[in-house]
Amino acid sequence: MKYVIKQVAPRRQPFDLTHDLNPQQRAVVEAPAGEILVLAGAGTGKTRTLTYRVARLVAGGVSPERILLVTFTNRAAREMTARVEELLGIDMRKASAGTFHHMGNRILRRMGHALGLSPSFGILDPEDARTLLAGVIAEQGLAQLSRKRFPTPKVLANLISLASGTRRPLAKVIEEHKLKLLDQAPMMEAVAKGYAERKRAMNLVDFDDLLGLWALLLEDPEHRAIADELRASYDHVLVDEYQDINALQGALCDQMAANHGSLICVGDDAQSIYSFRGADFTQISHFMVRHPKAQILKLTVNYRSTPEILALSNRSIAHNRNQHRKELQAVKPSGHVPAVIPLRDVYQQAELVAQRVLELHHEQNLPLSRIAVLYRNHAHSLELQVELTRRQIPFAVRSGLRFFEQAHIKDVVAYLRARQNPQDSLAWIRLLRLWPGIGSQTAERLADALAAAPAGTASREVLLEQAKAAKGRAKTAITRLAELWQHLSDPTSASPGDAIRKVVEGHYAEYAERTFPNAQTRKEDLEQLASYAERFGDVDEFLGELSLIQGMSAENVLAANDPDDMLVLSTIHQAKGLEWPVAFVLWLSEGRFPMASSLRLPKDEEEERRLFYVASTRAADELYLCYPMIEEAHDGPSHILRPSRFLTEIDHAPPVFERWEIEEQPLDEGDA
């Protein structure tokens, strides 16, 4: 007996577009199929608009399986399709909705046989990929390099991934991102080739292959029949967060829509801030070059921020020349004028933020979790984290560790701990394992010898003695460490800041370049740590303060009345897509934000300005823009800092901010 399940046609237009959407959103939803770029400003309801676009297509008779919806998280795809199901009362599970990698996986399961992949191929997670790369490096004898160590698998994996996403030769990517390793580019290319061969032989792919092999099926003339079948699988392609795609993802979008021409891309060029990850700004800025017959629609009605905050944001982003121009309009009523606050130094900046946060929390009954402090670099939060800890204000760092808990900070501090207390074998083990040729067992043996040395015996002498018995790379490493220890023992290293800089110059900068994809950021963190350490008279005082800060930090979290109510600290990159009633932006000083390195090329300066735009549009009701006027220098007189160009260039009539003047009130005797 056969039992037939009848397909139920979706109800026609079960929602009221006039009631549910504003005119701009409705224009996007009702636009005829074709090539469309939707420029969706911050807080303008782009997700809602894209969801209704899908719902209207399905309500109009398009089968869900004929729609390709590409988002940057699978969660976003699930939320959109769930909302469509709610609107239409139908099952959307057949829709191809998810991330680029999710779709690439599905396509390669079906058609990867043309590339020699079986349907059961495995996918390497990042850790497995690094393990496989390490094996190839070892096979080719590169792990034994001593004078110039080969980059770690993590760094090499990052470079290979960038080359894939940007569709550029690996050597070019190395030249741009790791210039100091350029002389090793031929060896790195050989490893990348060996890595690709090993993956193919083992029926494995990594995350980049999910996109690269998908593109190969579409672009290689040998697979023309499969490419035609792939394109014919869909009638509509919709892409979210289009400003964040890389060159490879852009090519996939264009290829998948090449036959039917129904391509709708939603994004905001003013929020394109991920070039360091390989995002290609030209994909959205030059959309009309690739699609000359395309239509551009704009979403500019902002539901998040007050008119005052939008006036400042609009005026700032208008200074970018390379953009699709638009101006956000507020729905909310007028509110607080954004405040620009010059502070004496970073310590007063931290005091201002901490005090104002407490006022907002206690006087306005605003939960701490509804307040965000944003900054360009993680190091810019150092002094604030210390101040918050002292005042017992609980805080959470979004997608990252607290400043003093980061690996590179603890690595360098271990040198100071071992110098001050040679019996600290844990510190010795940590720093010894950073050196090439010194594994766990060797590090423990050396640490025991250093910790057991008689009082008065210099650690350098013990290291030199141990170097005599060592071999190969370990011998070289221990000898170099002994030389560094001589510099650290010099009386001129009595200052904790000087000691930190000698560790970085003598070893850690080189280690960071080989070990971390974001080596430059970590080195900037360490310079910030050194500057902070200058406040202390000696290393003992500095280390004692660090211990107290870390201990108090743990106590604060445990003692908080509501452990979930914590002030949010975040880099601006991590804050994109989020919003808070109140936002503080720190370190708006020229050379810090924008960063000095970004001022060499106009495109880099414009990305920094887009970053400022993203920061300012995170605030719904109150925005505080802070900058220190003086920076202490370790090698001479203090520096006078100028306000960021992002502030000076918008400082004209009519005013879009008010300037606060800071007065310090001395403590009453009873408060001391």
Res 556: pLDDT: 46
The DSSP code sequence of 295-319 is EEEEE-EESSS-HHHHHHHHHHHTT
Distances (CA, A) of 638 to 1, 344, 351, 528, 622: 89, 12, 20, 15, 32
594 upstream amide cis, omega within 30 of 0? yes
Higher pLDDT, 374 or 552: 374
Percent of the chain with pLDDT over 70: 92
Q: What separation, in Å, do the N-terminal and C-terminal C-alpha atoms of the chain show?
A: 89
Coil, strand or helix at 579: coil
Return the pLDDT at 456.
59
Structure tokens at 294: 């395309």
| HSE-up of residue 608 (Cα within 13 Å, Cβ side) | 24
Quick check: helix, strand or coil at residue 436? coil
Q: What is the pTM of this model?
A: 0.87
Which pLDDT score is estimated for 455?
64
Q: What is the mean pLDDT of the chain?
A: 89
Q: Is the dihedral of CA 513, 519, 520, 526 positive or negative?
A: negative
**CA neighbor of 192 nearest in space, from 179, 174, 175, 178:** 174
Tell me the pLDDT tens digit for each residue of 273-331: 999 889 999 999 999 999 999 999 999 999 999 999 999 999 999 999 999 999 999 99
Instruction: State mean pLDDT over 451-476.
Output: 82
Residues in the chain: 672
Does residue 176 contact residue 159 with C-beta atoms inside 8 Å? no
CA 643 – CA 535 distance, rounded (Å): 24
* Strands across the sheet containing 619-628: 395-397, 567-571, 371-375, 580-585, 619-628, 339-343, 658-659
- Is pLDDT of 573 > 90? yes
CA distance 80 to 66: 16
CA 604 to chain centre: 16
Instruction: Check pLDDT > 90 for residue 540.
Output: no
Classify strands 639-640 and 630-631 as parallel, antiparallel or unpaired: antiparallel
Query: In the beta sheet, which residues pair with residue 589?
Result: 643
Among 172-186, 253-267, 426-440, 626-640, the range of highest mean pLDDT: 253-267
Q: How far apart are CA 371 and CA 320, in angstroms?
A: 29
